[in-house]
Amino acid sequence: MEKKIRVLVAKPGLDGHDRGAKVVARALRDAGFEVIYTGLRQTPEQIAEAALQEDVNVVAMSILSGAHPHLFPKVVDLVRNKNGMKDVLIIGGGVIPEGDIPALKEAGIAEVFTPGTPTSDVVDFIKANVKA
Amino acid sequence: MSNEKIQEELAKYQASVEKAIARFPEREHLPEQRLYTPLDIKDTDYADEISFPGVYPYTRGVQPTMYRGRFWTMRMYAGFSTAEESNKRYRYLIESGATGLSCAFDLPTQIGYDSTDPISEGEVGKVGVAIDSLADMEILFDQIDLGKVSTSMTINAPASVLLAMYIAVAEKQGVSADQLKGTIQNDILKEYAARGTYIFPPRPSMRLITNIFEYCSKNVPKWNTISISGYHIREAGSTAAQEIAFTIADGIAYVEAAIKAGLNVDDFAGRLSFFWNAHNNVLEEVAKFRASRRVWAKVMKERFKAEKPKSMMLRVHTQTAGSMLTAQQPNNNIVRVALQTAAAVMGGTQSLHTNSRDEALALPTEESVMIALRTQQIVAYESGLADVIDPLAGSYYVEAMTNKIEAEAWDYIKKIDEMGGAVAAIEKGYIQKEIQDSAYKWQMDVESGARTIVGVNKFQIEEEAPKNLLRVDASVGEKQKAKVEAMKAKRDNDAVKAALADLKTACQDENENLMPHILAAVKTYATLGEICGVMREVFGEYEAHVNL
Amino acid sequence: MDIAEELLQGNRLALSRAITAIENEYDEATEIMKKLYPHTGHAFVLGITGPPGAGKSTLTDRLARAYREQGKTVGIVAVDPTSPFTGGAILGDRIRMNGLTLDEGVFIRSMGTRGSLGGLSHKTADAVKAMDAFGKDVIFVETVGVGQSEVDIVKAADTTMVVLIPGMGDDIQAIKAGILEIGDLFCINKADHDGADKLVRELNMMLDLDSNMSDWRPPIQKVIASQGEGIEELIGYIEKHYAYIQGNGLLAERRTKRIRDEMLDILSSNIGRYIKGKIVDSGRLDGYVESIRKHETDPYTVVGDIMKEMLK
Put simply, the answer to whether B127 touches A15 (Cβ < 8 Å) is yes
pLDDT of C147 > 70? The answer is no
Put simply, the answer to whether B326 touches A115 (Cβ < 8 Å) is yes
Q: How many CB pairs under 8 A join A and C?
A: 88
Put simply, the answer to whether A120 touches B111 (Cβ < 8 Å) is no
The verdict on C115 touching A (C-beta cutoff 8 Å) is yes
Predicted local confidence at residue B37, as pLDDT: 96
Domain that holds residue A28: 6-127
Domains of chain C: 1-39 (no CATH), 41-248 (3.40.50.300), 264-310 (no CATH)
- When divided into structural domains, chain A yields a total of 1
Contacts of B347 (CB under 8 A, 6+ apart): B276, B278, B285, B286, B288, B289, B290, B318
Q: Using alpha carbons only, what angle is made at residue B224 by residues B223 and B227, rounded to the nearest 5 degrees?
A: 155
Chain A residue numbers with beta carbons less than 8 Å from the beta carbon of C134 are: none
Q: For C278-312, how does the pLDDT look when each residue is reduced to its tens digit (9 = 90+)?
A: 888 788 888 899 999 999 999 999 989 888 888 77
Predicted local confidence at residue A115, as pLDDT: 87
Put simply, the answer to whether B547 touches C92 (Cβ < 8 Å) is yes
Q: DSSP secondary-structure letter at C54?
A: S
Longest dimension (CA), chain B: 84
Sheet with B272-278: list strands edge to edge. B223-224, B181-184, B150-153, B100-103, B73-78, B351-353, B316-320, B272-278, B226-229
In this complex, which of A14, A39, A95 lies closest to B546 when CB atoms are compared?
A: A39
Q: Which residues pair with B274 in a beta bridge?
A: B228, B316
Predicted local confidence at residue C272, as pLDDT: 82
Q: Is B237 left (phi over 0), alpha (psi -120 to 50) or beta?
A: left
For residue A1, tell me if it sits in a domain: no
Put simply, the answer to whether C110 touches A36 (Cβ < 8 Å) is yes
End-to-end C-alpha distance for chain B, whole angstroms: 52
Predicted local confidence at residue C170, as pLDDT: 58
Task: List the one residue out of C144, C38, C36, C129 whose CA is nearest residue C82.
Answer: C144
The verdict on C16 touching A (C-beta cutoff 8 Å) is yes
In this complex, which of B428, B543, B548 lies closest to C96 when CB atoms are compared?
A: B543
Put simply, the answer to whether A32 touches C88 (Cβ < 8 Å) is yes
Over range C218-245, report the average pLDDT.
94
Contacts of B104 (CB under 8 A, 6+ apart): B77, B78, B79, B80, B127, B128, B129, B154
For residue A101, tell me if it sits in a domain: yes
Q: Considering Cα of C283, then C289, then C290, then C292, what sign does the dihedral take? A: positive
In this complex, which of A28, A46, A83 lies closest to C13 when CB atoms are compared?
A: A83
Put simply, the answer to whether A4 touches C119 (Cβ < 8 Å) is no
Put simply, the answer to whether A4 touches C24 (Cβ < 8 Å) is yes
Chain B residue numbers with beta carbons less than 8 Å from the beta carbon of C92 are: 546-548
Q: Are B302 and B339 in contact (CB under 8 A)?
A: no
Put simply, the answer to whether B548 touches C90 (Cβ < 8 Å) is yes
Q: Where are the beta strands (DSSP E) in A16-125?
A: 34-37, 58-63, 89-94, 111-113
For residue A132, tell me if it sits in a domain: no
Put simply, the answer to whether A37 touches B548 (Cβ < 8 Å) is yes
Residue of B nearest to C94 (CA): B546
d(CA B523, CA B534): 16
The verdict on A2 touching C (C-beta cutoff 8 Å) is yes
> For chain B, how many residues are written?
548
Predicted local confidence at residue C21, as pLDDT: 95
Predicted local confidence at residue B169, as pLDDT: 97
- Smallest CA–CA distance, residue B11 to chain C, in Å, is 43
- Smallest CA–CA distance, residue B542 to chain C, in Å, is 9
d(CA C7, CA B424): 44
pLDDT of C151 > 80? The answer is no
Task: List the one residue out of C9, C1, C261, C277 whose CA is nearest residue C124.
Answer: C261
pLDDT confidence band for C177 (50 / 70 / 90)? low
Q: Are B231 and B353 in contact (CB under 8 A)?
A: no
- Smallest CA–CA distance, residue B327 to chain A, in Å, is 6
pLDDT of C176 > 80? The answer is no
Predicted local confidence at residue C216, as pLDDT: 87
Mutate to test the interface with B, among C226, C227, C229 (most CBs of B within 10 A): C226
Chain B residue numbers with beta carbons less than 8 Å from the beta carbon of A71 are: 122
State residue B198 phi and psi, 5-degree precision: -95, 165
**Kind and range of the H or E element at A10?**
strand A6-10
Chain C residue numbers with beta carbons less than 8 Å from the beta carbon of B543 are: 58, 96, 226
Q: DSSP secondary-structure letter at B50?
A: I
3-state secondary structure of C162: strand
For residue A102, tell me if it sits in a domain: yes
Query: What number of other Cβ atoms are within 10 A of residue B49's Cβ?
Result: 17
Chain A residue numbers with beta carbons less than 8 Å from the beta carbon of C109 are: 53-54
Residue of C nearest to A27 (CA): C88
Cis before B309 (ω within 30): no
In this complex, which of A19, A37, A115 lies closest to B237 when CB atoms are compared?
A: A19
- The DSSP-derived string for B177-242 is GGG-EEEE---HHHIIIII----S-HHHHHHHHHHHHHHHHHH-TTEE-EEEE-HHHHHTT--HHH
DSSP-H helix ranges across B261-365 = 265-268, 282-298, 309-312, 332-346
Q: Are C89 and A30 in contact (CB under 8 A)?
A: no
pLDDT of C2 > 80? The answer is yes
DSSP-H helix ranges across B23-124 = 25-28, 83-95, 107-110
Neighbours of chain B (3+ CB pairs under 8 A): A, C
Q: Cα C149 to chain center, whole Å?
A: 9
pLDDT of C161 > 90? The answer is yes
For residue A95, tell me if it sits in a domain: yes
* HEC string for B63-87: CCCHHHCCCCEEEEEECCECHHHHH
The torsion angle over the Cα atoms of residues B244, B246, B249 and B251, rounded to 10 degrees, is -70
Q: Is B144 left (phi over 0), alpha (psi -120 to 50) or beta?
A: beta
pLDDT confidence band for C271 (50 / 70 / 90)? confident
d(CA B242, CA B344): 17
Mark the ranges of chain A whose per-residue pLDDT is less than 50: none
What one-letter code names the amino acid at B324?
M
Contacts of B23 (CB under 8 A, 6+ apart): none
Contacts of B56 (CB under 8 A, 6+ apart): B297, B301, B309, B312
- Smallest CA–CA distance, residue C76 to chain B, in Å, is 19
Chain A residue numbers with beta carbons less than 8 Å from the beta carbon of C10 are: none
State residue B389 phi and psi, 5-degree precision: -75, 135
Predicted local confidence at residue C204, as pLDDT: 87
Classify residue C293 by burial, with Cβ atoms within 10 Å: 0-12, 13-18, 19+.
exposed
Q: Enumerate chain B positions whose Cβ falls within 8 A of a Cβ in C.
A: 201, 428, 543-544, 546-548
In this complex, which of A29, A49, A85 lies closest to C101 when CB atoms are compared?
A: A49
Q: For B319-363, how does the pLDDT look when each residue is reduced to its tens digit (9 = 90+)?
A: 999 999 999 999 999 999 999 999 999 999 999 999 999 888 888
- Smallest CA–CA distance, residue B218 to chain A, in Å, is 34
Q: DSSP secondary-structure letter at C10?
A: T
Put simply, the answer to whether B544 touches C90 (Cβ < 8 Å) is no
Q: Are C139 and C75 in contact (CB under 8 A)?
A: yes
Chain A residue numbers with beta carbons less than 8 Å from the beta carbon of B110 are: 14
- Smallest CA–CA distance, residue A102 to chain C, in Å, is 30
In this complex, which of A3, A28, A38 lies closest to C24 when CB atoms are compared?
A: A3
- Smallest CA–CA distance, residue C206 to chain B, in Å, is 28
d(CA A41, CA C196): 33
Q: For C13-62, how does the pLDDT look when each residue is reduced to its tens digit (9 = 90+)?
A: 999 999 999 999 898 999 999 999 999 999 999 999 888 888 899 999 99
Task: List the one residue out of B459, B451, B454, B460 whose CA is nearest residue B237.
Answer: B451
Contacts of B439 (CB under 8 A, 6+ apart): A19, A22, A23, B236, B237, B238
Query: What number of other Cβ atoms are within 10 A of residue C130's Cβ?
Result: 32
* CATH number of the domain residue A72 falls in: 3.40.50.280
Residue of B nearest to C228 (CA): B540
Q: Are B44 and B403 in contact (CB under 8 A)?
A: yes
Complex prediction ipTM: 0.95
Q: DSSP secondary-structure letter at B329?
A: S
Over range C108-136, report the average pLDDT.
87
Domains of chain B: 62-448 (3.20.20.240)
Q: Is B16 left (phi over 0), alpha (psi -120 to 50) or beta?
A: alpha
> For chain A, how many residues are written?
132
Put simply, the answer to whether C90 touches B428 (Cβ < 8 Å) is no
**b/e per residue B82-103 (b: at least 16 CB within 10 A):** bbebbbebbeebbeeebbbbbb
d(CA C165, CA C222): 9
Put simply, the answer to whether B543 touches C58 (Cβ < 8 Å) is yes
The verdict on C299 touching B (C-beta cutoff 8 Å) is no
From residue B5, alpha-carbon distances to A91, B10, B11 in Å are: 63, 8, 10
Q: Which residues pair with C84 in a beta bridge?
A: none
**Kind and range of the H or E element at C186?**
strand C185-188
Q: DSSP secondary-structure letter at B394?
A: T
Predicted local confidence at residue B22, as pLDDT: 80
Per-residue pLDDT in tens (0 to 9) along chain B, 548 residues: 899 999 999 999 999 988 888 887 777 778 889 899 999 999 999 999 999 999 999 999 999 999 999 999 988 777 778 899 899 989 988 888 777 888 999 999 999 999 999 999 989 998 899 999 999 999 999 999 999 889 999 999 999 999 999 999 999 999 999 999 999 999 999 999 999 999 999 999 999 999 999 999 999 999 999 999 999 999 999 999 999 999 999 999 999 999 998 999 999 999 999 999 999 999 999 999 999 999 999 999 999 999 999 999 999 999 999 999 999 999 999 999 999 999 999 999 999 999 999 888 888 888 999 999 999 999 999 999 999 999 999 999 999 999 999 999 999 999 999 999 999 999 888 999 999 999 999 999 999 999 999 999 999 999 887 777 777 777 889 999 999 999 999 999 999 999 999 999 999 999 999 999 999 999 999 999 999 999 999 999 998 877 77
Query: What number of other Cβ atoms are within 10 A of residue C173's Cβ?
Result: 11
Chain C residue numbers with beta carbons less than 8 Å from the beta carbon of A49 are: 101-102
- The DSSP-derived string for B247-276 is HHHHHHHHHHHHHHTT--HHHHGGGEEEEE
- Smallest CA–CA distance, residue B380 to chain A, in Å, is 31
State residue B352 phi and psi, 5-degree precision: -150, 135
B-proximal residues of C, 230-289, CB under 8 Å = none
From residue B21, alpha-carbon distances to B162, B507, B522, C55 in Å are: 57, 65, 66, 52
d(CA A62, CA A20): 8
Put simply, the answer to whether C90 touches A39 (Cβ < 8 Å) is no
d(CA B150, CA B74): 11
Contacts of C266 (CB under 8 A, 6+ apart): C122
The verdict on A28 touching C (C-beta cutoff 8 Å) is yes
What one-letter code names the amino acid at B254?
Y
What is the crossing angle of helices C231-247 and C56-69, to 10°?
80
d(CA C135, CA B494): 49
Mean pLDDT of chain C: 88
For residue A89, tell me if it sits in a domain: yes
